[in-house]
Amino acid sequence: MKIGILREGKIPPDSRVPLTPAQCRNLCDSTPSLCIVIQPSAGRCYTDQEYLDAGIVWQEDLCDCDFIMGVKEVPIQLLIPDKTFLFFSHTIKRQAYNRSLLQAILARRIRLIDYETLTDERGNRLIAFGRFAGMVGAHNALYTYGERSGAFHLPRMKDCHDYAEACAIYQQIQWPPIKIVLTGTGRVGSGAAEVLRDMGIRETDPEQFLHASFDEAVFTQLHTSDYVRHQHGVPFDKNHFHAHPEAYLPAFAPFAQKADIFINGIYWDKRAPVFFSPEEMADPSFHIQVIADITCDIAPDSSIPSTIRPSTIDDPVYGFDPRTWEECPAYQPNAIDVMAIDNLPNELPRDASAAFGQMFIEHVLPELFSPESAVLERAIIAEKGVLTPRFQYLQEFVNETEPV
C-alpha cells in the first residue's frame, strides 16, 4: 500500500498535516508493506526537511498512490481521476460553496472518504480535530472580549509555541467577572471547557448561572435540554430530538440575557431551532457581546444568524449590527463581535496534527488494509462516478447546477 500526503491547496492556507514525520517513520518501520510519500510544501507546520530527516520521500506526482490524504478541501484542479482521497470535504450537509467540488469528484470517478463520515457501528466519529477547535475557539472568545473591552490582553493562540505556553499566560491574567455560556458536550465542547478550566474560570450549573450573582468569571456548559423545548411541552427526550428536531423550539433566551460571551460548539441540524433571531439580538435585553461560533455554519443555514461568513486566522473578528443585519467593523458599541474561524485547529497545528494522526493510526489505518471494512463502507461518499447508497440524499443537491 502506498499513501501520499498531498500539499494543502485551499485558500486561506492550512498548515496541518494528517500524519507527522515521526508517525510516518514509525508506520513504515512497523509495516513493511506500507510506503508513505509527501508532496513538498512550504506551508506545513512540519517542514519538508523534517519529513526528509525522518526518511520520508518527497514526490510531486501522487498518481501511483493507493490513498491520497489531505486535511481541508482539495481544489478541483488538483483532483486526480480514479483515485481514493481522504479529506474533510464539507459536503454532507449540502454546503453550497462545495457543490462544485462534489460534482467534480463524481465527474472524475473519485472514491471520496470523508474523515467526518468515519464512524463506529453506533455512529460515533473515529477521527476529528474537534477538541482542538474547541480549545482554540474558547481561547479566541476570551481574546475577542479582551480586545473589545480593554479589560485585559490575551495573546493569540497562534503566537504561542504550544498549549503549555498558553496555559502559562492564563496564570498571569486577572479575569473580570464575565459570564460565559458554552453549548456542546462533544469533542468541541469538551475542548472549550478544558481551556476555560485551565484559565481558572469557575464552572457553574445552568440554574446558578441564570439566578446567582458572581464576583468572578464563570461559565456554564449547556446540554441540548437546556436550550430547546418541545413545542407541545413534552419532557425532553434526546433520541426524539435527534430524530425530530423540527418539533422543538428555542429556549436559549434566558442565557442570552445573562451572558457576556457565547461559545457555540454544537453539531447543528438544519431542521433544529436556531438559538435566536436577528430581531432578538437587537432587543435591549440581549446581553451577549461576543459570539465565538466554533460550529461556523454560515447563515442563513446556521444556528446563529450573525455568522454571515467565516473569519480567518489573520483577521479573526468582525462585527454584526443586529439593526441592519449587516457586517460592520469589530468592537463597535452597538454591534456584536463574531469570531467564526473555520480552521481553528490550525492555530495549534503541531499539537492538533499529532493527535489527529494518532487517531488515524489507531482507528482508520487498519481499515485501509481490510478487504471488507464496514467502517470504510459507511464513510465512502462517492465511488466510480456515483454517490453511495448512504449518501444518495445528496443527489438533488448535486443536480442543482450543471456538473463540473
Domain presence at residue 122: no
82 and 220 together in one domain: no
End-to-end CA separation in angstroms for the chain: 30
Instruction: Indicate whether 57 belongs to any domain.
Output: yes
Q: Give mean pLDDT, residues 230-245.
A: 95
Is residue 190 domain-shared with residue 281, that is, in the same domain? yes
Q: Which amino acid is at 204?
A: T
Residue 85 CA to residue 269 CA, distance in Å, equals 26
Q: Are residues 353 and 337 in the same domain?
A: no
Give the CATH number, domain containing residue 98: 3.40.50.720
Claim to verify: residue 171 and residue 271 sit in the same structural domain: yes
> Span 291-308, mean pLDDT?
95
Q: What does the pLDDT average to over 143-169?
A: 95
Give the pLDDT confidence score for residue 279 in this predicted structure.
96
The answer as to whether 124 is a domain residue is no
Q: Write the pLDDT tens digit of every residue in 359-397.
A: 999 999 999 999 899 999 999 999 999 999 999 999 999
Point out the least confidently predicted range of 67-71, 83-87, 125-129, 139-143: 125-129
Say what the pLDDT of residue 402 is: 53
Residue 180 has pLDDT above 90, yes or no: yes
261 and 205 part of one domain = yes
Q: Is the pLDDT of residue 161 over 90?
A: no
Q: pLDDT digits over 193-217, tens only?
A: 999 999 999 999 999 999 999 999 9
pLDDT tens digits, one per residue of 42-84? 999 999 999 999 999 999 999 999 999 999 999 999 999 999 9
The reported pLDDT for the residue numbered 403 is 47
CA pair distance 268, 67, nearest whole angstrom: 31
Grid cell 526537511 is found at 49
Contact by Cβ (8 Å): 145, 223: no
- Mean pLDDT, range 226-232, rounded to an integer: 97
Residues 87, 145 within the same domain: no
Residue 273 belongs to some domain of the structure: yes
Quote the pLDDT of residue 404. Answer: 45
Q: Is residue 65 part of a domain?
A: yes
pLDDT of residue 162: 85
Asked whether residue 375 falls in the same domain as residue 274, the answer is no
pTM: 0.83
pLDDT, residue 329, reads 98
My answer on whether 9 and 93 are in the same domain is yes
Query: Average per-residue pLDDT in the chain?
Result: 96
- The two most distant CA atoms of the chain are separated, in Å, by 65
Residues 77 and 201 in one domain: no
Per residue in 34-48, pLDDT (tens digit) is: 999 999 999 999 999
Residue 150 has pLDDT above 80, yes or no: yes
Element containing residue 327 per DSSP (H, E):
strand 326-328
What integer pLDDT is reported at residue 13 of this predicted model? 83
| 262 and 307 share one domain | yes
Would you state the pLDDT for residue 391? Answer: 98
Contact 163, 351 (CB under 8 A): yes
Q: Please give the tally of structural domains in the chain.
A: 2
* 197 and 300 fall within a common domain: yes
Domain that includes residue 390, residue range: 2-110+349-398
Rounded Cα distance between 185 and 349, Å, is 23
Residue 370 three-state SS: coil
Does 363 lie in the same domain as 328?
no
Q: Is residue 121 part of a domain?
A: no
Give the integer Cα–Cα distance in Å for 252 and 257: 9
